[in-house]
């Protein structure tokens, strides 16, 4: 009798432009990034593959860096990444693959996620898919940063979570929250990092703080909203295309060397994740 093969767990580092997808997670009535990745992995490995992502991005939201894990009994060959990238749509790219222990988990082992939300004062077709066109007068970055500093003092973000969510807690620990202006590119960007994010949370914070930057919301009322537990006065109108998941971090030393030698993520300067 032949010896039965054991399952092995792998992590994939990947990126995508989310414009054409109803988010990362498989949907009943819409195309998702996960759907394509599952299908193409199953084709290459010749078995049914189901992936688990580290972060669930909403419809139209992008990811410069995300991770997923999957299990397989198949051997990972040296041309695996090349084959997978060839089969995937042009707006989804895999970057690295890591051979991991069976107890490792892409979602639960991640210790932080980082997002950027980009507003462009100029209509620019070259960044139209990844930046929100904002054809109004320039926002007061000092007011925006006064608002963002309040996030470090807060933990419960129930008021910034969309409904129809199944999370057990609305507690989040924000470690970065800052607005920066790039005068040359005519953009303003919100950078935020946290151990976790709630559904719609970043877009809710962005749109609500913009109301503050336009002096339509006082700092006092923003504090009241932070301290409330309902989202009735939260503005979730920030368009999805301006939001990008930029990094997912794991404990130091978590990953071994990539299974297949390839271009390192940090060295990518062109293409989808320029």
202 shares a domain with 189: yes
Is a pLDDT exceeding 50 seen at residue 217? yes
CA distance 65 to 193: 14
Q: Is residue 1 part of a domain?
A: no
148 shares a domain with 168: yes
Give the pLDDT of residue 84.
Answer: 97
Overall domain count for the chain: 2
238 shares a domain with 122: yes
CA distance 88 to 15: 11
263 shares a domain with 204: no
Q: Is residue 138 part of a domain?
A: yes
Please, what is the average pLDDT of the chain?
A: 91
238 shares a domain with 119: yes
153 shares a domain with 131: yes
CATH classification at residue 194: 3.30.70.660
CA distance 152 to 249: 19
Tokens for 188, please give them: 């303003």
Is a pLDDT exceeding 50 seen at residue 265? no
> For 171-193, what is each residue's pLDDT tens digit?
999 999 999 999 999 999 999 99
Q: Is residue 71 part of a domain?
A: yes
Is a pLDDT exceeding 50 seen at residue 130? yes
Active site members? 58
pTM: 0.91
Q: Is residue 2 part of a domain?
A: no
Banded model confidence at residue 229, pLDDT cuts 50, 70, 90: confident
Give the pLDDT of residue 164.
Answer: 62
226 shares a domain with 175: yes
163 shares a domain with 234: yes
> For 27-86, what is each residue's pLDDT tens digit?
888 999 999 999 999 999 999 999 999 999 999 999 999 999 999 999 999 999 999 999
139 shares a domain with 93: no
Residue of higher predicted confidence among 233 and 130:
130
126 shares a domain with 22: no
Give the pLDDT of residue 228.
Answer: 86
CA angle 179, 106, 47 (to 5 degrees): 135
240 shares a domain with 122: yes
Give the pLDDT of residue 271.
Answer: 46
For 37, the domain range is 8-108+251-273
DSSP labels, 82-101: HHHHHHS-TTEEEEEEEEE-
95 shares a domain with 47: yes
CA angle 100, 104, 110 (to 5 degrees): 115
Contact between 55 and 66 (Cβ < 8 Å): yes
């Amino acid at each position: 009798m032949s010896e039965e093969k054991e399952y092995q767990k792998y992590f994939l580092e990947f990126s995508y432009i989310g414009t054409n997808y109803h988010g990362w997670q498989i949907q009943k009535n819409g195309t998702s990034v996960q759907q394509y990745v599952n299908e193409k992995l199953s084709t290459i490995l010749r078995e049914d593959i189901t992936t688990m992502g580290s972060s669930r991005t909403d419809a139209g939201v992008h990811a410069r860096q995300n991770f997923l894990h999957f299990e397989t009994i198949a051997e990972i060959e040296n041309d695996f990444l090349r084959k997978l990238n060839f089969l995937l749509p042009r707006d989804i790219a895999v970057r690295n693959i890591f051979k991991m222990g069976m107890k490792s988990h892409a979602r639960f082992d991640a210790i932080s996620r980082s997002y950027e939300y980009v507003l462009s004062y100029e209509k620019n077709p070259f960044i139209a898919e990844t930046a929100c066109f904002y054809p109004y007068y320039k926002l007061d970055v000092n007011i925006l940063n006064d608002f963002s500093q309040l996030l470090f003092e807060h933990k419960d973000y129930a008021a910034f979570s969309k409904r129809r969510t199944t999370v057990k807690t609305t507690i989040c620990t924000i470690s970065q929250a800052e607005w920066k202006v790039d005068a040359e590119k005519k953009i303003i960007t919100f950078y935020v990092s946290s151990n976790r994010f709630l559904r719609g949370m970043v877009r809710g914070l962005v749109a609500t703080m913009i109301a503050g930057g336009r002096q339509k919301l006082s700092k006092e009322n923003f504090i009241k909203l932070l301290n409330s537990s309902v989202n009735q006065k939260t503005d979730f109108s920030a368009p999805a295309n301006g939001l990008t998941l930029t990094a997912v971090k794991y404990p130091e030393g978590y990953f071994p060397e990539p299974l297949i030698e390839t271009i390192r993520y940090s060295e990518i300067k062109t293409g989808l994740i320029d």
